[in-house]
Chain A
Amino acid sequence: GAVVSQHPSRVICKSGTSVKIECRSLDFQATTMFWYRQFPKQSLMLMATSNEGSKATYEQGVEKDKFLINHASLTLSTLTVTSAHPEDSSFYICSARTGLYEQYFGPGTRLTVT
């Protein structure tokens, strides 16, 4: 149980275009999902917390107009990187929380902006 999927696993896009990443909880309902960014050999940096049916809460320094998050249902959250630039290239990982505690991660999306 507690499986989180993420799609796509890898994406290459051109500078200025937008990219959408999907995160799904496959066998449970997640009232809260999280989006992280991870640079090579570094820790996980929380970008935003997403609650079903409400606006996402962004961490300080994260541009909400650039990283659009939509938590449309209890099993799906999406992250859209708008007007992507090379500096947005990174590993993006979502996670979903079951109940009050356990948090499970998706496999991540490697974004490369050329």
Chain B
Amino acid sequence: GENVEQHPSTLSVQEGDSAVIKCTYSDSASNYFPWYKQELGKRPQLIIDIRSNVGEKKDQRIAVTLNKTAKHFSLHITETQPEDSAVYFCAARGSNAGGTSYGKLTFGQGTILTVHP
């Protein structure tokens, strides 16, 4: 099945700096890569996603890049703010019908982002 590795596990930045979180995946057939933000005790919120037919997607201060050849994707947050502090999870969705990863999101281990004012 799919295996997703996420780094770093913790990330501390100063307000206004950029933050980058990286993930690698194992299933070359995976075709969908969402990123979720989870604040303490709350639900994971979808913040951005990318499909395998594009290499980059941007939404205001956040962007995601995908390198299918290397099987890795990254989340970029620019001009970070204290309210960006949360746990961020990447995920990959398998696409091989009949495979064990089909249709399911496999999550990375999470990154605790702290933005210091």
Contact = CB atoms under 8 A, between A and B. Distances in A.
Given A101-B51, A102-B49, A108 B109 contact: no
Interface in B41-97: 41-46, 49, 51, 89, 93
Contacts of B105: 34, 46, 103
**Interface residue tally on A, bucketed by range:** 10 to 19
A49 B32 CA distance: 17
A105 interface: yes
Contacts of B42: 107-108
B46 A108 contact: no
17 contacts: A34-B104, A43-B89, A44-B44, A44-B89, A46-B104, A46-B106, A49-B103, A101-B32, A101-B49, A103-B34, A103-B105, A104-B46, A105-B43, A105-B44, A105-B45, A106-B43, A107-B43
Given A49-B104, A102-B34, A103-B34, A43 B109 contact: yes
Contacts, number: 43
Interface string A74-114: 00000000000000000001000000011111111000000
Interface residues of B, number: 21
A33 B108 CA distance: 20
Nearest to A100: B32
A32 interface: yes
A102 B109 contact: no
Interface in A11-50: 32, 34, 42-44, 46, 49
Given A43-B107, A43-B109, A44-B107, A103 B46 contact: yes
Given A102-B46, A107-B43, 18 more contacts: A4-B43, A32-B103, A43-B107, A43-B110, A44-B89, A46-B106, A49-B104, A101-B51, A102-B34, A102-B49, A103-B34, A103-B46, A104-B46, A105-B44, A105-B45, A107-B42, A108-B41, A108-B43
Contacts of A107: 42-43
Interface string B15-56: 000000000000000001010100001111110010100000
